[in-house]
Each structure stands twice: as C-alpha cells, then as structure tokens.
Amino acid sequence: MKIAGHDIAVCSWSLRAASCAQLADMVHSVGLEHVQLAIGPLVGMDPAAVSRELASLKSAGIAITAGMIGFDGEDYSTIASIRKTGGFVPDGTWPQRREIAIRAARITADLGVRMLSVHVGFVPPSDDPRYPSLVERMRELAGAMADFGVDLLMETGQEAAGELLQFLNDVSMPNVGINFDPANMILYGAGHPIDAVRTLGRHIRHVHVKDAVASDQPQVKWGEEVPFGTGQVGAAALLRAFREVGYTGPLAIEREAGDNRLADVRTAIESLRKAAASL
C-alpha cells in the first residue's frame, strides 16, 4: 500500500504476534505488505530458527522496511527512569548493548535490509562531560554497522530537534540518520513535531506514524499515546512537512498502547488517506 507516495508499514512489535507467520497474517488483514521488524527476538536464536521464522514472512510477500533493536533493563515507567537506563548512555550496560546492537546489525544485513533503528538514550548537553563519550560510542557502532552496509537510525523524542541536529553533526558518520517519531516529541515534551521535521529533514530516513497528547508536566510526566489521527500531531501537516523536506521513504505505523491494535492500525491508515486527499 502506498499513500502520498510512501510505502505504508506497521511495526511488528505493535501487533504482538506470537510468530512471523501470525505477523504476516495480521499485516495482510489490514491490507499492508510492509513491516518494520523487531530484531531483538532473533538475536538469541540459532541461525536455523531465524531462517524458519523469516521464511514465513518471505513466502507471504512481506517486505521489511527496517529493523529495530531495544535492550533488557531499559525502564520506561517514567521519563526519569528511562533517562537513567536508556540506550548507550549508561556506562555499565554499554559493552553488552554494543555487542547486541552489532549482532542485530548483522542479522539486519542478512535480511537484505539497510536500516536499524534504536533509542540511543538521552543525549547529554554538549557541555556535559558524558557528551564526548556518547559521540565516540555512536561513531564506533556506526563504523561496525557500516561494515555490514547498515544505517544506524536514532529515534527522535528525548531531545529537542536542534540538540539532536548538533549531535548528528558532531557524530558526523554518513550511515547515522533519524527514525522520526512525531508522537515521541510530544510524549517526552521535546518540542513540536512539525517544526522538528523541518529542522531534521535531510537526516530522516524512516518514520513512525504515531500520535499523542501532551502531558500537563512536559519533560516530567509522559504524555498519552493515542491512535494516529486523534492526537496533536496533525496528519495532513505531517505529510505536508515530509513533502517540503523531500522525504519519500516508508511510514511505519506504531501503536504501543491500547488493547485493539489492529483497529488502531486501520484508524491510522484511514487518517493518512484522508490527510493525503487534503493535500
């Protein structure tokens, strides 16, 4: 399915499928043929098991837009807790997470997929003593992933767009880009997503279609994730901004809350269609 020139995908973890075969059935049930695939469950499998799982996607005609990796020990219960435990910032978990990310990149490459997204953690201010260390960690990871032909995509949300742009410029690796999540900007209280598209435009290589309503204490308490098209992102404004910056890549629907995920994916598709018709 294409809408406004974009391949429409769904994030595999949003559907909570028990197997790749079930995932393929669920993706087809909403009229889609593309997924962003969580690579984490595959990292611990033996190669034969990975091949069996992925064969069901291939035989069903499901295309993978990008991989995604997260880590045990990341605590999303509050913004304060994920600030301490997220991504590649904590020193204690860096060696293990580095190895997991590199293994995930190898699997991503074996799938014939070029992009792997991750929350790298809260980027410290540029004058923070921890900042140079995170820059070097990103360069190290990006260099390792470049050997596999894989781009490392940082997911937006934790930082204001201008701060993230400075970090990208300081890392200065050609295979580091952005997985743009407009709802995360609202959930974390990191700024307006449409403005962020214009700031980060040339670095955006993959997109999550997700929506949210801001909290009454931005950067302290989470906002609320809602079905796409019912929150504060603005579907038409988002598509228009992507057109302005020249982004033509995939739009992957992500839903991480709610008990009726397939219905919410259908709502997102319809919201995108209506928005595209209004452009």
Antiparallel, parallel or unpaired: β 151-155 and 176-180: parallel
Res 51: pLDDT: 84
- Provide CATH code, domain 2-278: 3.20.20.150
pLDDT of residue 46: 85
Least Cα distance to 87 among 156, 9, 10, 12 occurs for 156
Q: Which residue has the tokens 């040339």?
A: 202
Residue 201 corresponds to which amino acid?
G
Tens-digit pLDDT profile for residues 135-175: 999 999 999 999 999 999 999 988 999 999 999 999 999 99
Asked if residue 98 lies in contact with residue 134, where contact means CB atoms within 8 angstroms, the answer is no
Q: What percent of the chain has pLDDT over 90?
A: 89
Q: Which regions of 184-249 does DSSP assign to beta strands (E)?
A: 204-209, 211-213, 224-226
* pLDDT value, residue 56: 85
The span from the CA of 218 to the CA of 184, in Å, is: 12
Q: What phi and psi values does residue 225 have, to the nearest 5 degrees?
A: -75, 135
Report domain extents, the chain: 2-278
The identity of residue 16, as a single letter, is: R
* pLDDT at residue 47, rounded to an integer: 83
Low-confidence spans in the chain with pLDDT less than 70: none
pLDDT at 272: 98
Q: Both tokens of residue 60?
A: 């069903």
Q: What is the C-alpha separation between 82 and 121, in angstroms, rounded?
A: 8
pLDDT at 126: 93
Q: Which residues pair with 66 in a beta bridge?
A: 36
